[in-house]
Amino acid sequence: MRKLKLEELGRISPEEYREIQKIPIIVVLDNIRSAMNVGSFFRTADAFKIQKLILAGITARPPHKEILKTAIGAANTVEWSYSDDLCTSMAELREAGFNIIGIEQTDVSMPISKYPIHADSRYALIFGNEVNGLSEEVLPLLDQVLEIPQYGTKHSLNVSVCGGIVLWHFTRKFLE
- What CATH number is attached to the domain comprising 79? 3.40.1280.10
Residue 6 lies in a domain: no
pLDDT at 176: 78
Tens of pLDDT along 19-42? Answer: 999 999 999 999 999 999 999 999
Residue 93 lies in a domain: yes
Residue 31 lies in a domain: yes
DSSP the chain: --PPPGGGS-PPPHHHHHHSPPEEEEEEEES---HHHHHHHHHHHHHTTEEEEEEETT---TT-HHHHHHHTTGGGTS-EEEES-HHHHHHHHHHTTEEEEEE---TT-EEGGGSPP-TTSEEEEEEEBTTTBS-TTTGGG-SEEEE----SS-S---HHHHHHHHHHHHHHHHH-
Residue 7 lies in a domain: no
Percent of the chain whose pLDDT exceeds 90:
97
**With 90 as the cut, is the pLDDT of residue 96 above it?**
yes
Residue 10 lies in a domain: no
What is the domain extent for residue 91? 23-175
Residue 61 lies in a domain: yes
Residue 4 lies in a domain: no
pLDDT at 118: 96
pLDDT at 135: 95
**With 90 as the cut, is the pLDDT of residue 87 above it?**
yes
**With 90 as the cut, is the pLDDT of residue 6 above it?**
no
Percent of the chain whose pLDDT exceeds 70:
100
Residue 34 lies in a domain: yes
What would the mean pLDDT of 35-50 be, rounded to a whole number? Answer: 98
pLDDT at 94: 97
